[in-house]
Structure 1
Amino acid sequence: MGHIRTRRVAAGPRAQRRRRSAAPRRAATLLLCLAGFLASGFVAGFIGFALSLERAEPILTVQADGVVVLTGGSDRIHEAAELLARGQARRLLITGVNKSTRGPEIAKLLPVSRQLFDCCIDLGYEALDTAGNAAETREWAKARGIGGSLIVVTSNYHMPRALVELSAALPGVELYPFPVVSEHMQVADWLDDASVARLIGGEYVKYLFALARTRLFPGASYAGHSTRTGAMAEVDAPSW
């Protein structure tokens, strides 16, 4: 039986050009599919983030070593002071205080006695952002021997990012969130109110960045946010 011989025919210039032009199209299609997948994931994550935000303040009955409140609204500080006054913690840190604001000004606004204010409230003046709040809280916890549990007070829309930062800065410390709900910012209106949607959207992006940073660089997350000597002031400090 004779052997059938086949002969490869070299592709012509037109076929070669088609193959060369097809490769970029495939790459572009893959990139578009990947971008669509990432965009869908981002939108789905945003919706989940918005729906997860607390609509009402919780009834917190836990006993903790301390309370930390991240400044940004008078409601937050008021709620944190009430937790301290009820005996649910032994000390309170107000982190991120404006450098021009002194203790007596804050004391007038809080529902606590001056005696409790003087003995059990500390002011942190160095934090400029949420990562700074976490670093300031870490230094305060070390100085005050708070290593077991901490109540965290901040706005409901800010709470997810605050917990990410504080969990990274204080590994092993149990955190109890107390999200403050403002009557001026109803997160449930995010579908109908563009300003609320923008606020939550911006917070969601910051949350994702904080989550990525603390997961990828856990040891270096707060290297540039250490509290300087004298930045933490007790309320009865002589400088008042």
Structure 2
Amino acid sequence: MISFIRRRIVVPLFILCIIFIGLFIGGFIVFSDRVSTLQAPDLSEPADGIVVLTGGYSRIEGALDLLKNKRGERLFISGVHSSTNRNELQRVTGGDATLFECCVDIDRSALDTIGNAAESVKWANANHYKRIIVVTNNYHIPRTMFELKRASQDIEFIPYPIINTNLKDGNWITRGLVVRVLFVEYVKYLGAVIRYQLPASLSDATASLLHRIKG
């Protein structure tokens, strides 16, 4: 009898675990293929402004090129370290000093992607911008867009992926470091999606956990 009851419990649980693992791995493959095939959008029609999230190689440089080419009126750099001043940031990124002085705004309060989204929406609303180009690395685009759309439904966000490694041929799966970056970002993305399905107290706890894994 006990053996029968165990089978009635263990077998369904085992099957559920297999299904969960399959869905998780399948979701990771879909996520990775999606971000590895992202391309720069058509920007023949300039946006109102440009937002770039710090934290990845070449992000700010790419956003400054867009600003220089008049794809937006102003640039908002979100998540700059509190000890980094404007002149140092301009020098490190090789940005034009005049352009930095006239058309670049800097945010030092955002500590993670959630904060980036909140501060970017505040900036856009303060400038009455309704169409924003969002610059970040390709692997970071899904979570960034999710947080931005959660923060505002009234602004059109245009994802502009920075691509440092060409992975369009699907060879990401053979590159250990790339798989690690994609996997960590996939887990964070799932955490962000799940967080908004939870009650407020659990949602805050999840947000705190995501922040500990470097936002």
TM-score range, shorter chain: 0.7 to 0.9
The aligned counterpart of 1:125 is 108
Deviation at 1:217, TM superposition (A): 6.1
Q: For 1:147-226, what aligned pairs fall within 5 Å after superposition?
A: 148-183=130-165, 186=167, 188-216=170-198
1:215 Cα deviation from its structure 2 partner: 4.5
Quick check: 1:32 aligned with 2:14? yes
Query: Structure 2: which 5+ residue stretches go unaligned?
Result: 209-215
**Sequence identity of aligned pairs in percent?**
38
Q: For residues 59 and 135 of structure 1, do their structure 2 counterparts lie closer, same or farther at Cα, with a shift above 3 Å needed?
A: closer
Question: How many corresponding residue pairs?
Answer: 203
Q: Which secondary structure does the structure 2 equivalent of 1:195 belong to? A: helix
Distance 1:73 1:105 in 2: 17
Higher percent of residues as helix: 2
Conserved? CA contact 1:168–1:214, under 8 Å: no
Structure 1 distance, partners of 2:29, 2:196, is 23
TM-score (norm. length: structure 1): 0.76
In structure 2, relative to structure 1, the CA distance for the partners of 1:54 and 1:194 (3 Å cut) is closer
**1:14-163 residue pairs with structure 2 within 5 A?**
18=1, 20-55=2-37, 57-58=39-40, 60-61=42-43, 62-110=45-93, 112-146=95-129, 148-163=130-145
- In the TM superposition, what is the alpha-carbon distance from 1:166 to its structure 2 partner? 0.9
Task: Tell me what 1:231 maps to.
Answer: none
- With normalisation by structure 2, the TM-score equals 0.84
**C-alpha offsets along residues 99-132 of structure 1, whole Å, 9 cap, x if unaligned?**
1111011222456543321121111101111111
Q: Report deviation, 1:59.
A: 5.2
Q: Following the alignment from structure 2 to structure 1, what is the Cα–Cα distance between the partners of residues 55 and 41?
A: 22
Report the 3-state secondary structure (helix = DSSP H, G, I; strand = E; otherwise coil) of the residue aligned with 1:93.
strand
Query: Are the aligned partners of 1:165 and 1:214 in contact in 2 as well (CA < 8 Å)?
Result: no
Deviations 1:198-232 (A, max 9, x none): 111111010001112234469x979x99xxxxxxx
Q: Which amino acid is 2:50 matched to?
A: V
Q: CA deviation at 1:160?
A: 0.9
- The superposition leaves residues 131-187 of structure 1 with CA deviations (integer Å, 9 ceiling, x where unpaired) of 1111111222222222x111110001111111111111122211111100114x858
CA-atom RMSD in angstroms: 2.5
